[in-house]
Amino acid sequence: MLRKFLLLQGGLLFALLTAQAQPTPRPNTVRPAEGPSLAMERGRAIFPQRPDSAPYQPTQAEIMQRYRKARMLDSIATRSIFKAAVHPHWSADNTSFWYRNILPDSVMEYVSVDMIHGTRRKLDVAPADSLPRRTVFQHYTGRRWGSFTTDSLSPDKQWVAYIAQGNVFIHPANATRAEAFPFTTDGDTAKPYGDLAWSPDSKYLVGYHVNPVRDSAVYYVLSSVAGTSRGQLRSHPYKQPGDPWTTYEMFVFRLDGHQKLKVNTPLVDFFAAPELHWRHNDSRYFTFERVERGHQRFRIIEVDAATAETRSVYDEKTNTFIYESRLFTYYLPETNEILLTSEKDGWQHIYLIDAITGIQKQEITRGHYVVRNIDSVDAKHREIWFSACGMNPDEDPYYIHYYRIGFDGKHLVNLTPAKANHIVTFSPDRKYYLDAYSEINVPTINELRRTSDGKKILELEQADASRYLAAGLRFPEPFHAKGRDGVTDIWGIIVRPADFDASKRYPVIENIYAGPQDAFVPKDFTSRYSEMQSIAQLGFIVVQVDGMGTANRSKTFHDVCWKNIADAGFPDRILWIKALAAKYPYVDTTRVGLYGTSAGGQNALGGLLFHGDFYKAAVASCGCHDNRIDKQWWNEQWMGYPVDKHYDEQSNITNAWKLHGALLLMVGEADNNVPPESTYRVADALIKAGKMFEFLPLPGSDHTDGGPYGRTRRRDFFVHHLLGVEPLNRNANEPL
């Protein structure tokens, strides 16, 4: 009976919203076969220029109705898109797989696919073996640091090395510690030796004299712990910009003669002890990687274990930054070669270098596009499997495609030819793959393809969004405009209310996150109903943009962030919104707000501080408002080292006195990501400057956008400050 009631209730909501939906066609009601170009054509036809449009200024009664409808749309949208994803459960013999579709009314559909014959059939029930197989591949997983032990048997099993009282000892494997030889005597428990690693031939042992650094703590108080009458103090180690690192002084211990040799290289004073790569069939030499603090130099250094002398095999320097987290290195010991990535030609590309001479043998990929990831390396066939974006000049430069290429830079195969954003899942034996491709306004298509030549074998599913569209909802629309240089395209998306009137002008709210570590505008079609869409239903145009300073474009595009986090791409974002308004007059650039969390919280407040002539209201959640207070690894990567005056000049705390517009600050009192004092110090500076603002501390909450309560407050805040209407008086228990 309960299920029957819920189905009936859902049907009534669906019927109500369908009846309320505008009969006018929507610009982004796009069937998969139509593609984005037709969507844009529809957009031009349906939303003509209306220079006489009036500002959208709803009454309180209209806003109340919008709240009610938004809540109903939120409910319906979460269960109105089907067949958007295929999650394969592979057979043991790699010839077939099955997957499950969740259909309307929670009906389950099971499908079996025969990859050899290219057929699919529906099953009555799922196979008994209903858990996906997990297979280990030779995938690239990134550079590693500090993967060593302190008690180690040599490869030839003749010797045991260990640390005792901070010093290095060694004894024959058939002997006891009583017969051990001390390689060092100057270590102790405060500054011990450690991180021992053997050479493959067991003639050398590498270790470090370590000067440990204990990170200082950050503190917070849990104000509302049940069963207590006092606030509970909490702390955890937290490294901030400028804080010291543990240092590692490298030594080679030669077993012949029991010699201890200090390696001729500076202290490793950034990150942990590096991984060692021994030369194939010659254990006299090994290499290690070194990223210098400040992120402006990356080296691969070779050590002669016999003499402890060193030389640089690879040495890259830059005037801005090297993005350490996206440095890819892959060692090919049998051929003494190294695959690595670099942005030295202005774009992220793959190079092949000689591991002995350091000579570049091949720039494997080349062009105005970005290698996003190395999926795997086939050393036998000398091929690389990778993903990249921007290779196709006539599509969104952020769209990811998957490729295969030879070490010689030839025989490039595009495994994902459709103009869209792609997600690929390989079969366990990598002979087949599933290609799921879509755009933000084009539902997902899932295909089965053959790896050897990329040939399509079978279309598996097309996402069904008919219920979503029938409810009057709209897909986001991609939009691009020129950035500050007048040349570079800036890409973003626009989200409209379900029932908006093109003859009105609507306030704009930007969902902002300008963290330089990535790009953030979504590219995939999704079955998840977004917060942006939910906010838009209240009577806003909601947008998201990737301005200069974010990643996944050229090095020049990315470098804008260097020692310049406060820029946040605002010159590009503002031009983008103005260009949007030039195309769609229902976009009101006199009423623009923005919101964000974490770095986005920093950006949201920064919009009011540095561009208060354009942005009128902001909600900033858990912001890293001063880059000296936030985590070391993130901030030194973009703001550089040492910590200099530019950190202070760009601080939201330092610039709090510049506040224009309406501001709501939120912070979780138990934030383990960005210390809560970052927001509290902004509040303190605003109070001292006599600025008015709203402040919402969230008891017990960690790093958050505010959760359900905070999101409600955010919507009410924008309704009040951008639409000029008092939101629902929730304390009066008025019904939605």
pLDDT at res. 5 = 31
With 0-12 / 13-18 / 19 or more C-beta atoms within 10 angstroms meaning exposed / middle / buried, residue 145 is middle
Instruction: Please say if the pLDDT value at position 137 is more than 50.
Output: no
Instruction: Give ∠ CA 581-586-589 in degrees, rounded to 5.
Output: 45
Give dist(CA 161, CA 151) in Å, integer.
Answer: 6
Res. 79 pLDDT band, cuts 50 70 90: confident
Are 609 and 658 within 8 A, CB to CB?
A: yes
Taking residues 298-321, what's their average pLDDT? 98
Per-residue pLDDT tens digits for 385-399? 999 999 998 999 999
* Structure confidence at residue 735 as a pLDDT band (50, 70, 90): low
Contacting residues for 649 by C-beta, under 8 A, at least 6 apart: 566
Strand order of the β-sheet with 285-291 is: 277-278, 285-291, 297-304, 309-317
Q: Is 99 exposed, middle or buried (0-12, 13-18, 19+ CB in 10 A)?
A: buried
Q: Nearest 5°: CA angle at 540, between 536 and 545?
A: 80
Q: Answer yes or no: is pLDDT of 140 > 50.
A: no
- H/E stretch holding 18: helix 2-20
Residue 497 φ/ψ region, left for φ over 0, alpha for ψ in the -120 to 50 degree band, beta for the rest: beta
Integer Cα distance of 79 and 69 in angstroms: 16
Q: Using CA atoms, how far apart are residues 306 and 199, in angstroms rounded to an integer?
A: 12
CA distance 303 to 285: 6
Maximum separation of any 2 CA atoms in the chain, in Å:
94
Domain 476-524+535-726 has CATH 3.90.1170.20: no
Per-residue confidence (pLDDT) for residue 451, from 0 to 100: 94
DSSP state of 498: T
DSSP for residue 565: G
d(CA 41, CA 404): 35
pLDDT 10s digits, 609-638: 999 999 999 999 999 999 999 999 999 999
Model confidence, pTM: 0.89
Residues with Cβ within 8 Å of residue 518, at least 6 apart in sequence: 550, 551, 552
What backbone torsions phi and psi does residue 720 show, to the nearest 5 degrees? -70, -50
- If you average pLDDT over every residue of the chain, what do you get? 90
Half-sphere exposure of 224 (CA within 13 A, CB side): 8
Cβ distance 616 to 591 under 8 Å? yes
Task: Mark out the alpha helices in 197-336 (DSSP H runs).
Answer: none
Q: Does the pLDDT at position 110 exceed 50? A: yes
Radius of gyration (C-alpha) of the chain in whole angstroms: 29
Question: DSSP secondary-structure letter at 106?
Answer: G
Distance separating alpha carbons of residues 513 and 726, to the nearest angstrom: 28
Fold of 142-325: Methanol Dehydrogenase; Chain A (2.140.10)
DSSP percent split of the chain into helix, strand, coil, nearest 5: 20, 35, 45
Strand runs labelled E in 525-586: 541-546
pLDDT over 70 at 128, yes or no: no
Start-to-end C-alpha separation, the chain: 26
Please list, in sequence order, all residues whose beta carbon lies within 8 angstroms of the beta carbon of residue 418, skipping any fewer than 6 positions away.
435, 437, 445
Q: pLDDT grade, residue 733 (50/70/90)?
A: low
Q: Give the model's pLDDT for residue 2.
A: 34
The model's pLDDT over 421-435, given as tens digits with 9 standing for 90+, comes to 999 999 999 999 999
The predicted pLDDT at position 39 comes to 35
Determine what percent of the chain is predicted with pLDDT higher than 90. 84
Residue 373 has pLDDT above 70, yes or no: yes
Per-residue pLDDT, averaged over 276-295, amounts to 96
The pLDDT of residue 127 is above 80:
no
Q: What is the pLDDT of residues 695-712, one digit of tens each?
A: 999 999 999 999 999 999
Q: What is the DSSP letter of 180?
A: P
Question: What whole-number distance in Å separates Cα of residue 474 and Cα of residue 481?
Answer: 22
Contacts of 164 (CB under 8 A, 6+ apart): 177
Q: Stretch 280-303: mean pLDDT, rounded?
A: 97
Nearest Cα neighbor of 609 from 661, 544, 659 is 659
Say how far apart CA 694 and CA 679 lie, in whole Å.
Answer: 12
Structure tokens at 537: 């239903």
pLDDT at residue 527, as a whole number: 73
> What percent of the chain is modeled with pLDDT above 70?
89
Separation between Cα atoms, residue 360 and residue 378, nearest integer Å: 20
* Rounded Cα gap, residues 491 and 396, in angstroms: 8
Domain boundaries in the chain? 89-134, 142-325, 476-524+535-726
Q: What confidence score (pLDDT) does residue 324 get?
A: 96
Which is nearest to 34 in space by CA: 419, 601, 490?
A: 419
- Residue pair 402/422 in contact (Cβ under 8 Å)? The answer is yes
Q: Is the pLDDT of residue 100 over 90?
A: yes
Q: Do the Cβ atoms of 626 and 651 come closer than 8 Å?
A: yes
What was the pLDDT predicted at 146? 46
Mean pLDDT of 468-472: 90
Helical axes 2-20 vs 60-77, angle rounded to 10°: 130
d(CA 211, CA 244): 11
Q: Would you state the pLDDT for residue 52?
A: 62
pLDDT of residue 526: 84
The candidate with the shortest Cα–Cα distance to 615, out of 520, 528, 511, is 511
Please give the distance of CA 55 from its chain centroid, rounded to a whole number: 37
Helices (H), 588-631: 599-610
Q: What are phi and psi of 626, to 5 degrees?
A: -140, 120
